Chain A
Amino acid sequence: MSDSSIDLRGVMCPINFVKTKLKLEAMNPGEILEVILDSGDPIQNVPKSIKEEGHKIVEVKKEGDFFRLKVQRS
């Protein structure tokens, strides 16, 4: 389903966003990155920043204490 995956559980803001950004930049436009984020600060901040960078969040699933996002690289 996704071309790449990054598990950011336990990674603090804004390092989690920077890691997501770097991963996305290494991918090709249109490819899908799976991002796993903790609830709380990470889920409050990282999706906003991903959007502001121009990428698209195509799927969000809550799984207990964390979120599984699918992000399409711009």
Chain B
Amino acid sequence: MTDHFIEDKTTKVTVAVDGTEAQKFDFNDLKSGGFIKQRQKDLFTVRLRCPGGRLSTEKLLEISKIAHKYSKKGVVHFSFRQSLEILYVDYKEFSNVVAELEKIGQKVASCGPRVRVPTACGGCEYNPNGLTDTQKMADMVDKTFFGTPTPHKFKTSFSGCPIDCARTKEMDMGFQGVVDPTWEEESCTGCTICSEACKEDAIASDPDTGKPIFDPVKCLFCGDCIRACPTEAWKPKRYGHIVRIGGKHGRHPMEAVEVCSFLPDEKVPDAIKMTIDWYNANGKRGERIGNALKRVGLDNYLKHMEPVFQNTAKAGA
């Protein structure tokens, strides 16, 4: 397996810490700890662990001070997976950086073949489109699964709605928020706003009464009808996640396949755990889960997942 982060896998370097003790650094340990080798001699990027890309301003202030102290160039970079990276850090100062970050409760992220820091959009906490609490889910995944060894990297993300800003179709395992809309005739005034609000043409208006004619096949379960309805005739029946498996970007991008159309929040940890179990049992070293699924077969995976995915009927059903 090629590791793009640290080329020299055997070198052990003796480093003086605090000018007195000598400590051995194993470069193999470093890569799991989110230290990424730079072009420049002795300099590394330190990737922080920021699930869902969220940080308290208090922590951000403290991180700024540490970054200012240890970055030889005084720069940080926002990684493509929402984590903050301190650039140009001398490896001889790793222990100090980690210790100072530890003091403010900031962990370092990871690279390599393991469960990575989850990414997420803002979610239902403050985004009007949000249907699921993506930030809470990202935090849960980070606490429960971060760093779990897998045959290759394992990336997860949470999008709060079908706009899918967190790009669940490009993840090893992605969760996208959905809502099942339900309609009550009594409170409907036939105003036709829902059919105007629906961007998918899933709601037509009866020419005589103006009342909605719903087509669940066209529906993306975004909840626009529920939000637009002036009289609450459209209501949320239940919220959940579409689960997608086997996506990736990189040199050979693959689109994830939908394996569950409506998974409730409380089943997400099980779904991830069972998927990691399947991946570890079936994936070859250095093989992403998407390729493992192609080789072993999606049916094999779905059979394994039956206990979690059963009774998760499709939305609109």
Which residues of chain A have a CB within 8 Å of any CB of chain B?
39, 43-44, 47-49, 51-52, 56-62, 67
Determine whether the beta carbon of B230 is less than 8 Å from that of A51. Answer: yes
CB-based contact A43/B227 at 8 Å: no
Counting chain A CB atoms within 10 Å of each CB, the highest count among B189, B192, B227, B230 belongs to: B230
Identify 8 residue pairs between A and B in the complex whose beta-carbon atoms are under 8 Å apart, listed by A's number.
A43-B193, A44-B199, A48-B224, A48-B227, A48-B228, A49-B128, A51-B230, A60-B192
Chain B residues with CB under 8 Å of A47's CB are 193, 197, 228, 230
Task: Collect the chain B residues with CB atoms within 8 Å of residue A44's CB.
Answer: 196-197, 199, 224, 228
User: Does B259 touch A at the CB level, under 8 Å?
Assistant: no
Q: In the assembled complex, which residues on chain B have CB atoms less than 8 Å from the CB atom of A57?
A: 193, 230-231
10 tightest A-B contacts by CB? A57-B230, A60-B191, A48-B227, A43-B196, A44-B197, A47-B228, A48-B228, A60-B193, A47-B193, A62-B192
- Asked if B227 contacts A52 (CB within 8 A), the reply is yes
A60 adjacent to B230 (CB under 8 Å): yes
Chain B, Cβ-Cβ closest to A71 = B230
A48, B128: Cβ atoms closer than 8 Å: yes
Query: Distance in Å from the Cβ of B283 to the closest Cβ of chain A?
Result: 43
Q: Nearest Cβ in chain B — how far from A17, in angstroms?
A: 11
* Mask of B195-216 contacts with A, CB within 8 angstroms, 1/0: 0110100000000001000000
A16 to chain B, nearest CB (A): 14
Taking the closest CB of chain A, its distance from the CB of B123, in whole angstroms, is: 16
Select from chain B the residue with minimum beta-carbon distance to A52.
B128
Supply 5 further A-B pairs (C-beta < 8 A) apart from A60-B191, A61-B191, A62-B210.
A44-B228, A48-B128, A48-B224, A51-B227, A52-B227
